[in-house]
């Protein structure tokens, strides 16, 4: 078959053929090969199941910007979590909010709830840097104002800190669609279930390299102040690894988050997240050196860097395929790609997802990878993101 595919090819055709198979191999590895490899390796490792009885002091740090619609509910839910009240408090980091967020927090009047206002709109990472300084807890748990925690989430996170080698612990996202109108909802839910499975395998083998932003924790005594333009839930765990600690994934520590309501919202958020993530990786370059951190660099290349470059390989796959249409195999593969992108475009233009939710999967895949493509370009041009916008309550 190989000789049939390569016979009578010009030099240009051979280059196209090489580019096609290389791109396809990379894409296969990123989405299928790497998870399968993790699953195989994890069979030789077993992590002991921990009972959620370890209760060190905890501070739940809630980052907020103009969250007057959500902040009271979030604080009330947090205070009602199944954790000894004497062992945890709540700190709200208000990043220059201009609505009634600060007023609502102050009006609660509970000594376990404190407000830290950051003037000048410096961004989520800077807000966390400043708020951590006033947290009393031995463990800092980072949350968002729109996130709902399972009642036992703090207990499951804290249980992992019985091991002094553990420096940070991530919980698990569980996305849901509240209104049934989001074109990317099914794609978001499917993707994050897939991501959680990968994190579980990584953690079982040794350590993960990134946490879930709305539910992750770190020992206060190893917290590192970060630059404003990097994403904290990726870089803070990597800083813990640099200091010789493990970062674990706790699947029983659940956080519930609503999906975005429009493709535009999702795209803007993913561009911001990916741009900050790429800058974050560049700030911990030693972890990319396999002779210093073999397992960590392997994860970062396989699960982060190649992921951000997927759009380039998709584009190469499509373009190289276009020059190989004189053979049936490549005509079929070209048509399959075109159909996939057309389905994404149709789902973007026409709200057919309300009847055929599966259309949300190709749309989300394209949105995610187009955002990563834009982010790589932006980083190469020196662009940065420090502040964030509240998008989940938007109706646009």
Strands (DSSP E) found in the chain: 58-64, 88-95, 113-118, 139-144, 148-149, 166-176, 216-219, 246-258
Answer yes or no: is pLDDT of 253 > 70: yes
Alpha-carbon span 259 to 190, nearest angstrom: 12
Written as one string, the DSSP assignment of 280-306 is HHHTTGGGG-TTT-HHHHHHIIIIIIH
Residue-level length of the chain: 396
- Order of strands across the sheet with 58-64? 113-118, 88-95, 58-64, 139-144, 216-219, 166-176, 246-258, 148-149
Instruction: Assess contact for 328 and 340: CB atoms under 8 A.
Output: no
How far is CA 248 from each of CA 104, 253, 267, 378, 379, rounded to the nearest angstrom?
35, 12, 29, 31, 29
Q: What are the residues whose beta carbons fall under 8 Å from the beta carbon of 317, sequence distance 6 or more?
A: 19, 20, 23, 24, 27, 337
Residues 166 and 243: beta-carbon distance below 8 Å: no
Do β-strands 113-118 and 139-144 pair in parallel, antiparallel, or remain unpaired? unpaired
**Distance in angstroms (rounded) separating the CA atoms of residues 75 and 109:** 12
Structure confidence at residue 121 as a pLDDT band (50, 70, 90): confident
Q: How far apart are the first and last CA of the chain?
A: 52
Q: Which structural domains are found in the chain, ordered by start? A: 1-396 (3.90.550.10)
Residue 115 has pLDDT above 90, yes or no: yes
Confidence at 7, pLDDT banded by 50, 70, 90: low
- Position 269 pLDDT exceeds 50: yes
* Longest alpha-carbon distance in the chain: 80
| Percentage of residues of the chain with pLDDT beyond 90 | 71
Strand partners, 63: 93, 144
The stretch 369-384 carries a mean pLDDT of 90
Residue 250: pLDDT above 80? yes
Give the span between the Cα atoms of 171 and 251, in whole angstroms.
6
pLDDT in the model for residue 361: 85
Of the pLDDT bands very low, low, confident and very high (cuts 50, 70, 90), residue 388 is low
Distance CA 350, CA 258 (A): 22
**Average pLDDT over the chain, rounded to whole?**
89
On whether the CB atoms of residues 279 and 379 are closer than 8 A, the answer is yes
Strand partners, 172: 254
CA–CA separation, 156 and 194 (whole Å): 21
| β-bridge mates for residue 247, sequence order | 168
What is the average per-residue pLDDT within 340-362? 80
How far apart (Å, rounded) are the C-alpha atoms in residues 388 and 366?
23
Of the candidates 235, 53, 259, 251, the residue with the CA atom closest to the CA atom of residue 171: 251
Q: What is the pLDDT of residues 192-204, one digit of tens each?
A: 899 999 999 999 9
Angle in degrees, CA 116, 255, 246, rounded to 5: 80
Q: 284 near 209, Cβ under 8 Å?
A: no
> Tokens 């921990």 sit at which residue?
50
Structure tokens at 133: 């300084």
Of the candidates 139, 112, 274, 303, the one whose C-alpha atom is nearest the C-alpha of residue 205 is 303
Q: 105 pLDDT exceeds 70? A: yes
Q: Which helix (H) or strand (E) holds 344?
A: helix 328-349
Indicate the burial class of 213 (C-beta count within 10 angstroms; 0-12, 13-18, 19 or more): buried
HSE-CB at 151 with a 13 A cutoff on CA atoms is 2
pLDDT of 396 reads 23
């Amino acid at each position: 078959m190989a000789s049939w595919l390569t016979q009578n090819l010009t030099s240009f055709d051979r280059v196209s053929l090489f580019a096609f198979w290389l791109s396809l191999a990379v894409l296969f590895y990123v989405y299928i090969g790497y998870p399968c490899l993790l699953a195989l390796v994890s069979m030789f490792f077993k992590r002991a199941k921990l009972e959620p009885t370890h209760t060190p002091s905890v501070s739940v740090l809630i980052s907020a910007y103009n969250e007057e619609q959500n902040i009271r509910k979030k604080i009330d839910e947090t205070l009602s979590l199944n954790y000894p009240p004497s062992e945890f408090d709540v700190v709200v980091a208000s990043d220059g909010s201009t609505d009634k967020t600060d007023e609502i927090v102050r009006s609660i009047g509970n000594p376990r709830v404190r407000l830290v206002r950051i003037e000048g709109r410096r961004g989520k990472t800077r807000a966390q840097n400043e708020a951590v300084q006033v947290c009393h807890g031995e463990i800092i748990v980072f949350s968002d104002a729109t996130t709902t925690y399972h009642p036992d989430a703090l207990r499951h996170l804290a249980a992992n800190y019985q091991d002094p080698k553990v420096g940070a612990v991530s919980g698990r996202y569980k996305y849901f669609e509240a209104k049934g109108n989001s074109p990317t909802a099914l794609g978001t839910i499917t993707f994050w279930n897939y991501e959680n499975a990968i994190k579980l395998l990584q953690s079982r083998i040794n350590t993960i390299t990134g946490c879930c932003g709305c539910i992750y924790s770190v020992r206060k005594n190893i917290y590192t102040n970060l630059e404003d333009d990097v994403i904290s839930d990726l870089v803070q765990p990597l800083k813990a690894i640099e200091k010789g600690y493990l970062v674990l994934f706790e699947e029983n520590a659940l956080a519930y988050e609503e999906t975005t309501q429009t493709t535009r919202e999702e795209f803007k958020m993913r561009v911001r997240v990916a741009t900050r993530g790429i800058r974050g990786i560049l700030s911990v370059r030693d972890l990319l050196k396999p002779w210093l951190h073999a397992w960590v660099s392997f994860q970062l290349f396989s699960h982060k860097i190649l992921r951000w470059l997927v759009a380039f390989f998709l584009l190469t796959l499509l373009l190289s395929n276009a020059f190989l249409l004189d053979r049936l195999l490549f005509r079929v593969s070209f048509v399959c790609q075109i159909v996939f992108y057309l389905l994404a475009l149709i789902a973007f233009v026409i709200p057919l997802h309300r009847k055929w939710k599966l259309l949300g999967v190709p749309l989300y895949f394209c949105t995610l990878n187009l955002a990563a493509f834009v982010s790589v370009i932006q980083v190469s041009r020196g662009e940065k993101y420090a502040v964030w916008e509240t998008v989940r309550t938007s109706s646009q």
